[in-house]
A and B are shown apart, each in its own frame.
Chain A
Amino acid sequence: DVKVTQSSRYLVKRTGEKVFLECVQDMDHENMFWYRQDPGLGLRLIYFSYDVKMKEKGDIPEGYSVSREKKERFSLILESASTNQTSMYLCASSGGGSKADTQYFGPGTRLTVL
């Protein structure tokens, strides 16, 4: 079974802090994604990566950056957290071949910025 793990289930930070969210997948997947999920807005793509050291902006990259130094790990960084970044953050991964577009999600990190 594919396993995607996220470093924290719940996180509380203060405005202006630098925040790191870590995601690890164990299936040698090429593609990794970061989303945020808010009531009424659904899933919104922040950044994705289809290879080590590669990154692509999603629909809402402002205020975020990412890092992919190893194939299995994809980090989301909030350079200076703000209250409007309070949200559920979901990481996902997908592999190659005919199932390239099937994404597997982690359990999510609920981030609160005070």
Chain B
Amino acid sequence: QKEVEQDPGPLSVPEGAIVSLNCTYSNSAFQYFMWYRQYSRKGPELLMYTYSSGNKEDGRFTAQVDKSSKYISLFIRDSQPSDSATYLCAMSGGRGSTLGRLYFGRGTQLTAWP
């Protein structure tokens, strides 16, 4: 079983829709949770960063972590065509145990059409 599972999609939504992207994981030591966005032919860029459980909001984006269920989500409100990209979840157990190594999901490809 892969440590981080993510549905690859593809996901296609109309402009203005609410999008929910999800990952599950198996390692209870994970403490740091990230979402990266990757446009076509570019490197991933950090979108959201969360420590431990709870919610974090940044504009149209909300990251949610439920450590008890080992489940993380990214919500995108009022989706725009510019949100069309691949979204990768990533997580780690903290600096001491993993030396900064991240464990990635395979990415979900999202298209928001006008």
Please tell me the size bucket of the interface on A. Answer: 20 to 34
Report if A43 contacts B (CB, 8 A).
Answer: yes
- Contact (Cβ within 8 A) A101 B42: no
A17 within 8 A of B: no
| B14 at the A interface (CB under 8 A) | no
B8 engages A101 (CB within 8 Å) = no
With both chains docked as a complex, state the minimum distance between the C-beta of A108 and any C-beta of chain B, in angstroms.
5
A40 to B86, CA, bound (A): 12
Interface string of B73-114 (1 = CB under 8 A from A): 000000000000000101010110011111011110000000
Chain A positions 53 through 69: 1 when the CB is less than 8 Å from some CB of chain B, otherwise 0: 00010000000000000
* Contact bitstring A92-105, B, C-beta under 8 A = 1, else 0: 10101001111111
Q: Are B44 and A101 in contact (CB under 8 A)?
A: no
| Interface size of B in residues (CB-CB distance below 8 Å) | 26
Taken residue by residue from 12 to 41, chain A's Cβ proximity to chain B (1 for < 8 Å, 0 otherwise) reads as 000000000000000000110100000011
Q: A31-B99, A42-B107, A43-B104 in contact; A101/B94 too (CB < 8 A)?
A: yes
Partner of A40, one of B34, B49, B106: B106
B92 adjacent to A105 (CB under 8 Å): no
Q: Are A107 and B101 in contact (CB under 8 A)?
A: no
Once bound together, how far apart are the Cα atoms of A4 and B42, in whole Å? 12
Q: Is the CB of B99 within 8 A of A103?
A: no
Contact A101 B43 (CB under 8 A): no
User: Which A61-114 residues have a C-beta within 8 angstroms of B?
Assistant: 90, 92, 94, 96, 99-108, 110
